[in-house]
Structure 1
Amino acid sequence: MYPVNFDYHRASSVQEALTMMAENPDLKVIAGGHSLLPAMRLRLAQPPALLDVFGLEELRGIRREGDVFVVGAMTTHAQVLRSELPLFPEVAHEVGDPMVRNRGTIGGSLAHADPSADYPAAALALGVEFVIRGLGGERVVPADEMFVGMFESAVQPGELLTHIRIPATVQGCAYEKFKHPASHYAIAGVAVVRHADGQIRAAYTGAGEKAERLTLLEERLNAGQPAGEGLVDAGGLLGDRFASPEYRAHLVDVLAGRAAARV
């Protein structure tokens, strides 16, 4: 199937992109395109116009500023995979295949907020900050406020996620995943990070409508206890032909134990 006709625009700067978005609210921003284009081909999404920001150099690259890595939103998964970032390279290895990793972007994935994506769990466990820019200025959103719901992030209409700030000093980190056999998306995934102060943050993805913190796991590990079981309530999890809510809850327990053993 082919997508419906649409207009195509390419921004030459972030400021131009924001101006174009303000002038045409129907514009749909496209980065790597691995989420939007398949939906358009199936006509599940029918935007009248696309705004391509993939080529914006000001949104690319990884640099260290003191104890923080600043990552441009258009940095590809392949670039993340080859970087010295904590945890994210391990997670990037789990994203799609080489073709996807060479075109897809970290910012596009995080802003898209797919409930089965890998990066959101890592972002929550690391406690990253998201730099979001609109015509009215720039704001910084903590990871705990970024993922609002299924395919819904804190990025508002008329705004762009420009950079991600990632702590550079962590003592240990791990990501464990049980993946869908075809898409390789997470049926369940758990990220655990021991921060510079010794405190542990953890999060899961794939099992619910959005990635969330594993607060019970954090409490147990920070108290010197084993990960244990019953970390999430199956009543709030997703169910499909690949995994019931109860099985997803079991997977979270198992994956959390494996990840915790590696940090």
Structure 2
Amino acid sequence: MKPPPFHYARPSDVAEAVRLLASDEDAKALAGGQSLLPMMNFRLARPSVLVDIGRLPELAELRREDDVLVIGAGVRQRTAETSQLVRETCPLLGQALRHVGHHQIRSRGTVGGSLAHADPAAELCAAATALDAEVVVTGINGRRTIPAAELFVAPYETSLSADEVLTEVRVPIRDARCGFAEISPRSGDFAIAGVAAVLSDEVRLVGFGIGGTVQRLPEAEAALDGTALEAERIDTAAQLAADSTAPPDDLHADPATRRAALRAAVQRALKQVANA
């Protein structure tokens, strides 16, 4: 399969990338290309210009700033997955990354690209929301910060403006127990359902693959708030999570199957938390 015709631009910095995006409403930023290019091949996306930001050095930094893990949007997923800094400061992110596609995809795909793509079944979107992360974006009017919980608005749609580039992800470093689980037909396939779980001063459960965006599971969170993670409590929370969702009915799974998968994923993730 071939993509529709397009022009290609390789800016030298973020400022030039922003100008290129602002000059053509049909232009699209290209990072790792692991999601965008297949969509173009299937004619689901038809950008007039691909603005390649995948090799900009200013987007490739991975560092700690006091109590914040800062991940440049262009950091490869495999780089973050194998980073000692990520393992020490944000283990949930490493857990989530191991479920993203296959090794080859993670070697090309970027952290920022996955978030900007906003796939409802994306592991990184769920992890960023559960970790209360923020993204920094740069546009023609300057920089602004968006909480991850406000970034994803619909399937493959974010609150970024057309001229904005996601430049970095900022994850608070906190003492927390975490767990991550997904149910998929095969390793590397898109999840039928999954969950990212974080227990610190509050409980945060974020499901994915169960609707148009990743979503908090407040009923299940309330069942766990201030309680020990005993088996009965875990089962109750898992059932509440499943009962509170309205998954889609598509060729991959019907709603009942997705609810069952979510229930199992919540149980697995919370057992990881309990054993942490």
TM-score (norm 1): 0.94
Could you say which residue in structure 1 is the equivalent of 2:32?
32
Deviating more after overlay: 182-191 vs 250-259: 182-191
- Deviation of 1:158 after TM superposition, in Å, equals 0.5
3-state SS of 2:135 partner: strand
**What letter matches 1:105 in structure 2?**
T
One of 225, 239, 259 as aligned partner of 1:249: 259
One of 193, 207, 210 as aligned partner of 2:213: 210
Is the contact between residue 31 and residue 110 of structure 2 (CA under 8 Å) also seen in structure 1? yes
CA distance in structure 1 between the aligned counterparts of 2:187 and 2:67, rounded to whole angstroms: 38
Is the contact between residue 235 and residue 245 of structure 1 (CA under 8 Å) also seen in structure 2? no
Could you say which residue in structure 2 is the equivalent of 1:261?
271
Asked if 1:238 is matched to 2:248, the reply is yes
CA distance in structure 2 between the aligned counterparts of 1:256 and 1:155, rounded to whole angstroms: 30
- Deviation of 1:183 after TM superposition, in Å, equals 5.6
The verdict on how the C-alpha distance between 1:199 and 1:182 changes in structure 2, with shifts beyond 3 A counting, is closer
One of 152, 166, 171 as aligned partner of 1:166: 171
Alignment of 1:120-131 (within 5 A): 120-131=125-136
One of 177, 183, 194 as aligned partner of 1:178: 183
Could you say which residue in structure 2 is the equivalent of 1:199?
202
Could you say which residue in structure 2 is the equivalent of 1:150?
155
Is the contact between residue 138 and residue 167 of structure 2 (CA under 8 Å) also seen in structure 1? yes
**What letter matches 1:223 in structure 2?**
G
3-state SS of 2:223 partner: helix
- Report how many aligned residue pairs link the two structures: 261
CA distance in structure 1 between the aligned counterparts of 2:38 and 2:185, rounded to whole angstroms: 18
3-state SS of 1:170 partner: coil
Could you say which residue in structure 2 is the equivalent of 1:110?
115
The verdict on how the C-alpha distance between 1:54 and 1:252 changes in structure 2, with shifts beyond 3 A counting, is same
- Deviation of 1:166 after TM superposition, in Å, equals 0.7
3-state SS of 1:230 partner: helix
Taking only aligned residues, the RMSD between alpha carbons, in angstroms, comes to: 1.6
Deviating more after overlay: 85-94 vs 230-239: 230-239
Which blocks of at least 5 consecutive residues in structure 2 are unaligned?
none
Deviations 1:202-226 (A, max 9, x none): 1000111110011112111113161
**What letter matches 2:27 in structure 1?**
L
| Identity of matched residues, % | 38
Alignment of 1:126-145 (within 5 A): 126-145=131-150
Alignment of 1:42-57 (within 5 A): 42-57=42-57
3-state SS of 2:241 partner: coil
- Deviation of 1:61 after TM superposition, in Å, equals 2.1
Deviating more after overlay: 22-31 vs 228-237: 228-237
**What letter matches 2:8 in structure 1?**
Y
The verdict on how the C-alpha distance between 1:184 and 1:170 changes in structure 2, with shifts beyond 3 A counting, is farther
**What letter matches 1:250 in structure 2?**
A
Deviating more after overlay: 223-232 vs 146-155: 223-232
CA distance in structure 2 between the aligned counterparts of 1:61 and 1:102, rounded to whole angstroms: 16
**What letter matches 1:178 in structure 2?**
I
- Deviation of 1:12 after TM superposition, in Å, equals 0.7
**What letter matches 1:80 in structure 2?**
A
Deviations 1:37-71 (A, max 9, x none): 11212222222211100011101121101111010
CA distance in structure 2 between the aligned counterparts of 1:121 and 1:170, rounded to whole angstroms: 19
TM-score (norm 2): 0.90
Deviations 1:222-247 (A, max 9, x none): 13161311314476211223321122
